[in-house]
Amino acid sequence: MVRRVVGAAVALALLAVPLLGAGTSASASEQASNWWYDRYGVAQAHDAGWTGKGVKIAVIDLQINSKLPVFSDARLTVDHDPLCEDGTVESTVADHDTLHGSDITALLVGNGRGQGSVRGIAPDASVTFYGLGFPTCAQDARPGTQVGIAEGIERAIADGADIISLSVSLPSMNPGSIQAVADAIGHGVIVVAAQPNSTTGAEAATPYPMVLNGVVTVNALDDKGLLQRDADDPSKQDVWPEVTVVAAGVGFPSVNWTQRQSITGSSLATPLVAGMLADTWQKYPDATANQLIQSLIRNTGTTTHELTVQTNGIGYGAASLRHLLAVDPTKYADTNPLMNKASGKPTAAQVAAVEASPKPSASAATGAVAVSVSATPFVVGGVGLLVVIVALLVLTIILVRRSRRTNDEEHT
């Protein structure tokens, strides 16, 4: 198993490993499919008109190739101002950073064209991509400094996002990072974040923002309904006790335009949950963010049940698009039900203070532009790994992709 991460002394990349979990095999790349699309009844939801139209989703990730055919008619905007200094948000090189951001975004608004034939769960949602653009951010150690993911959250709030989808994470939480999440919750923005793909090793030490109060944390299921295997120890399942819900995320095809690949991880389950919420918000526009989260955790699975949470890695259960769409969330309390996590941060008082303050507006300095997409394929370049030497009094942020990918050697 090869797990590539960039941090203080580690290289950042996606996992390049066989999918050896329950119900898969060493040749799982042959089995890669968009099995989740039928399983969730996505086509039926779209036929009924629930496509996420009118809902704004922010994707905070690494890099993206917005020129791919899969995005040719998407309501996709790319903020070209990188969240990390000296970064580049757009790339046409099929390296790990670009594939990660492109795969995540395609699961939201893909049109089924190009490699992988990926169709989005919320194809009419308006998506803005905020790219770190650089695998390592240098953060001044002074309390309250905003950088990287926290900066992305604040930009998304100012730009009017309804939902934020995060499939990258950090090892530490300074006051500014915690405040960014408090700002999102207080301003009625749902934060959906991937949990680590392993309970040990470097990735397990990157808990922000999933451990924070109010955040919807997501893990991945395979097509048999089983939790994904631990990336560092495939003999066991990837179990985190504070997960909120689980969703499909094992054995998907990548949009990689140079070769066929199978990808796995909580990175993939996260945008699917964000998209389910977007479709539901379109149907029930009077619902609040808190009520949608209430509905998400109460309407898991396929049958009506009492609200129950488990610590075996399932959380409140398997997110269900059908069940969410069938229940009007406005009947639930307008309170965030996820404010009792072990971290204790942000506090209810922090969120209340934000609720009482005006919502920020987009800055004129924003680098966001709507993309004009060409279907022209691009030639792959070399895989780039960036290593940054950080001076004293600077904190290195480790960004971990919540996915794994396997090459399909039998196809060209």
Tens digits of residue pLDDT in 18-37: 222 222 222 334 479 999 99
| pLDDT tens profile 179-212 | 999 999 999 999 999 998 877 877 777 778 999 9
Q: Does 224 reside within a domain?
A: yes
Q: Which domain covers residue 223, as residue numbers?
A: 28-407
Q: Does 114 reside within a domain?
A: yes
267 counts as catalytic: yes
Q: Does 13 reside within a domain?
A: no
Joined tokens for residue 46: 């779209």
61 counts as catalytic: yes
CATH number at residue 247: 3.40.50.200
CA distance to 112, 295, 316, 394, 395, per residue, from 220 (Å): 22, 20, 13, 34, 30
Q: Does 11 reside within a domain?
A: no
Residue carrying structure tokens 């069940």 = 323
Q: Does 21 reside within a domain?
A: no
Question: Does the structure show a pLDDT above 70 at 367?
Answer: no
Q: Does 48 reside within a domain?
A: yes
Report the alpha-carbon distance of residue 126 to residue 162 in Å, rounded: 10
Among residues 29, 61, 162, 169, which one is catalytic?
A: 61
- The pairing of beta strand 76-79 with beta strand 126-131: parallel
Q: Which helix (H) or strand (E) holds 152?
A: helix 149-158
- The one-character DSSP state at 127 is E
Residue 326: how many CB atoms within 10 A of its CB? Answer: 13
Among residues 29, 165, 177, 267, which one is catalytic?
A: 267
Joined tokens for residue 120: 């989005």
HSE-CB for 308 with a 13 A CA cutoff: 10
Among residues 46, 66, 96, 100, which one is catalytic?
A: 100
| pLDDT tens profile 300-317 | 998 889 999 998 899 999
Q: Does 412 reside within a domain?
A: no
| pLDDT tens profile 374-397 | 222 222 222 222 222 232 223 333
255 confidence band (pLDDT: 50, 70, 90): very high
Question: Does the structure show a pLDDT above 90 at 109?
Answer: yes
- The larger pLDDT score, comparing residue 117 to residue 1, is at 117
Q: Does 20 reside within a domain?
A: no
Tally of structural domains, the chain: 1
- The larger pLDDT score, comparing residue 154 to residue 365, is at 154
Q: What is the pTM of this model?
A: 0.83
